[in-house]
Each structure stands twice: as structure tokens, then as C-alpha cells.
Amino acid sequence: MHHLLPRLVAFVLAAVVTGALASIVQTQFNLASLLAFGAPVTTALRGLTTMEDLARFGPVMAGIAAVALLPAFAVAHVVGRVVHARWHKGLLMLAGLCGMAVAFWLMASVIPMPPLFAIRRLPGFVSMSFTGVVGGLVYAAVRARSRSRSNGPGWAGTLATAGAILLVPVVAFIVMAPPRGVPPAPADPATYQVQTVATGLERPWSVAFLPDGRILVTEIRGRLRVVGSNGALSEIALDGMPAGFHEGGVAGLMEVMPDPDFAQNRWLYLTMSYGVAGANGTRLIRATLDGDRIKDVRILFNGTLKTRAGNNGGRMAFLPDGTLALTVGDGNLQREAAQSTHDHQGTVVRIDREGRAPADNPFVHVTGALPEIYSLGHRNAQGIAVDPDTGDLLISEHGPRGGDEINQIVAGGNYGWPIVTGGIDYPFPRVTPFRRLEGYLNAQLEWTPSIAPAGLAVYTGALFPQWRGDLLVPALKERSVRRVIRREGRIVGQELLLADLKLRMRDVKVAPDGSVYVLTDGADARLLRLVPS
């Protein structure tokens, strides 16, 4: 115990210093990326953002450093027993470097959460890893000082010192933690009742209605199900479908949508992930439904390949002019691509029913631009709908930690991601200090904290006349459906539907009879129907 307590203080201080330094390095690389886009990052703003990250992300980074440095220093101590004492400091510095490098490699390669911005490229990865060298140096210096003092502070004083060192980042994180938010009130349960249409669905993603009354449901692992009038499930044979890419609940078969003229042409549109783990993208196909199978499969669109699964977008809607809009996510790791017209990631694309870019798309005549792009600067839009009263195209999109949005899409519009957002990164550093900026379009509505909006519908039915024109948004994280109340196109309030079920909500669609169908999420999901009480 007498020998371990000084090491404890040295280790705690080394972890805190390493975390603080890594936070500062991360912020500088992140701000440099914004400067490359021409964002007005002044010296004062740089300093303010660095301090904010230091207070909120620094403590998180100190925890990561502690986990990384503990085994690294332990190995260094073992090796130090068999080598010359003069090499001990160097061993600890090397151990700190290796420990942090391994931690950042795991964050970038194994952990499914999008990694820190700085470690996505080699210069940032190396710079962040070298913060461990400073941690090793601090650890060695404090240990050497404690050994040189004949009378230490005793175990009580040592623990108090370690506690005081830890208190600073803990208090800083508590003070700077993101707001928890207060959800809106639940809707009056007397205004609607919930019917269970089907159960036993396996990770469903989308629901659609056919003119003959059949209901289609996609499952992300590659099945297209049919829900009968009695809730019985059957399956559409996907003959001729190109090979897809599947990974957990984030990549696979996504949206299904019948053509507006389905009664005549029998066309279905489906979105799916394609490619392999390190090079996958979002694909749109068209097929003809023939009884309980599809035929005449045709690939209409292949999105730019990305290096990680997830953030696929994949939602579709037909515009009033008969063209088709499709959302494409930013792909997690390449979020800067959302600002490029040379990449489909982070965009809404617009094509005709044959997969061609219409001649009036905003970037058709821009040299080097991809002609399908209709708008850009999106993160991961998993909801899309057209307001039939106005013709407006609306999307709901996931932010990171906060910054979920509803946007009204205009041709050629730039919606800011990742230069403008109300959200922060998952490990708590700033994505950007800008919530609004000239030249970028503002969201109609923003949710911070996140609700994880996974779909979008405009209510136009007759069963709920008080809902007409309102938006319905299924939320995965919040486990509800949000009714976004609008009056004359303006958002005036919100309320929660189905919150009492405490289920993740994946999709919502308004049926031809005006009832509302909701897909829950997960391995044993349900298809629900909302009707008036």
C-alpha cells in the first residue's frame, strides 16, 4: 500500500494531463477542417471552442487515457525490472505512446460509434497518440519526485491529492454536460386507439400500401414481407435481386415504395446497401411485382461507396413532377463529403423513373459535379415526405449527439453539415462552433437532445381531422412518435404518441383510409395501426 499510493497520484495526474492535451489536439484538427471550407474561425472563437472542449470532452478523454495507460504502464514496469534504471522514463513514454495508439486504433476500427475527427487521418492519429508520451513523462516525473521525498503525505493525504486531481474534470464535465431536455406532453390517450396488425417482424425498416389492400414491410436482413388482413405474414420472392450488403441493424434492405402508377405498371422501388464492409453504398432498384415474386429488376442508382456501414439514408418520395427524391447518408467517417458536389454522401438526390438525372437538377451543368445531387449538407436523413398541399419536400435527419432536424428542401440548398449543426460529437467534443452561418439553410425544427428521427409522414387523412397538415416522426431513441403540429405551414407545437409503449419506432406511414401505421424496431417488432377512439 505504501508503494502503490504515490503511483496512484502519478497515474491519475498522467491520465488527466493526457486527456487534456488530447482534447486540445482534437479541437485544433477539427477547426482546421472547418477553415478548409472557409468557415470564419477567428482566434477568439478558436480559444473559446478549445476551452469548451477541454471542459466537456477533456474529462471523457481522461477516462479513455486512464483505460489505455493502465495496462501500458504495467507492462513498462515489468520490463523496467530487467533493464537499466536510466531507461525507465523512456519506457514509460514509449508505453504511453503505444497505449494511446492502441486505444485510438480500437476507436477507429472496432468500436461501432463514429471515431473522433482527429484520428480519422494519419497526421491526427499520430498527434493524438503522442499525447501518451507526455502522460508517460508526467507519470515518471511524479514517481521520481515521490521517491526523492523522505516523508510523504501519508495514505490519507495521497488519496486526497488523487481525489482533488479527479475533481476538476468531473466538475467541469457536469457543468458543461449537454442539456437533458424536457419532452412535450403525451397526446390525450382518448383521442386514438392502437391496434396490433402484425407481430414477429425481424428488424423491419419500411411499410408501404398496395392498391389491392396488401401491406408490404421490408426487413433489413433482406426479406420483403406481406401482411395479410388477418395479420398473417408471407414473403415476396426477391428473384433477380442484386447481392446486398448486410451488417447488423444498420445496413441491408431498407425502403419499399410502389410507383404512383402501380396499378398500371406494377413497379416497386427498393433501397438497399450494396458492396462490402470497407466499401459500401446506398442503391436504388426498380422491379415489377408479379404475384408473390418480383421480376425485371433494374438498378437505377448506386451511391458513392463509403468505408463504414451505417448512415445510409435510403428513404424515397415522389415529387409532384413525377421525379423521385432519395436520401443518402454521410457514411459516418467521411462527413466532409456532405459538402461536396463530387460525392453522393450527405445529399438528397433526384432522378427520373429510369434513373437519369433531370435536366433541371441544380448541379447538372457544374463541371465535375454529380448530376443527381439535388441538395447537400445532410448527415443521415431517414425520413422524407412531400406535403401534398404545398408540394414542399421535407426530410427528417439524424444529428450526432443532438442536432436532429426537419428541413424543407430547395434545389441546390446547402444544409450545413458538418459546418453548421446544433449537435456535438458522440464522445462530447464540438463538431463545429456554428449553429447558424450565412450561406447555409436553417432547419425548420431542431431537436437537442436527440430523439433519433427514423421516418417522416405528413398527415393528410380524414380520420384525424385535427391532425391534418401535421408531421408524424417516429423516434428510435425517444421511443415515441412525435406529432409536430403545424398551422399554415408554421410549427406551433409538439406532442408524443405511443410513448407509453416504450418501444423504438422505425417508420410511420398514413394509409389510404387515413389510419396511421407505425413500425416498431428490433428483432421481434410489431406493425401498429392508429385509429380514432
pLDDT at 157 over 90: no
pLDDT at 169 over 90: no
Distance in angstroms (rounded) separating the CA atoms of residues 89 and 139: 9
Q: 58 and 15 in one domain?
A: yes
**16 part of a folded domain:** yes
**237 part of a folded domain:** yes
Mark which of 445, 466, 487 sits at the end of a domain. 445
Which of residues 116 and 110 earns the better pLDDT score?
A: 116
Query: What is the residue range of 482's domain?
Result: 451-533
Cβ-proximal residues to 425 (8 Å cutoff; 6+ apart), any chain: 114, 116, 117, 400, 401, 431
pTM comes to 0.93
% of the chain at pLDDT higher than 70: 95
Distance in angstroms (rounded) separating the CA atoms of residues 134 and 15: 10
pLDDT at 262 over 50: yes
Q: What is the pLDDT of residue 519?
A: 98
Q: 364 and 431 in one domain?
A: yes
The answer to which of 21-30, 81-90, 393-402, 474-483 has the lowest mean pLDDT is 81-90
Q: 509 and 471 in one domain?
A: yes
Q: What is the pLDDT of residue 148?
A: 64
Q: 151 and 278 in one domain?
A: no
**pLDDT grade for 175, boundaries at 50, 70 and 90:** confident
Q: Chain-wide mean pLDDT for the chain?
A: 92
pLDDT at 274 over 50: yes
**pLDDT grade for 162, boundaries at 50, 70 and 90:** low
DSSP character for 288?
E
Q: Are strands 223-227 and 215-219 parallel, antiparallel or unpaired?
A: antiparallel
Q: 378 and 234 in one domain?
A: yes
Question: What's the structural domain count of the chain?
Answer: 3
Distance in angstroms (rounded) separating the CA atoms of residues 266 and 302: 22
Q: What CATH number corresponds to the domain at position 379?
A: 2.120.10.30
C-alpha cell at 200: 414477429
Angle formed at CA 47 by CA 43 and CA 51, multiple of 5 degrees: 170
Tell me what the mean pLDDT of segment 373-396 comes to: 97
Q: 470 and 356 in one domain?
A: no
**pLDDT grade for 150, boundaries at 50, 70 and 90:** low
Cis peptide before 211 (omega within 30 of 0): no
Q: What is the pLDDT of residue 153?
A: 57
Torsion sign, CA atoms 342, 346, 350, 354: positive
Q: 425 and 455 in one domain?
A: no
pLDDT at 87 over 80: no
Q: What is the pLDDT of residue 151?
A: 57
Helix (H) or strand (E) holding 187: none
Which of residues 288 and 278 earns the better pLDDT score?
A: 288
CA Rg value for the chain: 27
Q: What is the pLDDT of residues 419-452, one digit of tens each?
A: 999 999 999 999 999 999 999 999 999 999 999 9
pLDDT at 1 over 50: no
Q: 36 and 169 in one domain?
A: yes
Q: What is the pLDDT of residues 327-352, one digit of tens each?
A: 999 987 889 999 999 999 999 999 99
C-alpha cell at 61: 478523454
Mark which of 445, 462, 486 sits at the end of a domain. 445
Q: 114 and 168 in one domain?
A: yes
**pLDDT grade for 152, boundaries at 50, 70 and 90:** low
Mark which of 176, 211, 226 sits at the end of a domain. 176
**51 part of a folded domain:** yes
The answer to which of 2-16, 219-233, 411-425, 472-486 has the lowest mean pLDDT is 2-16
Q: What is the pLDDT of residue 110?
A: 75
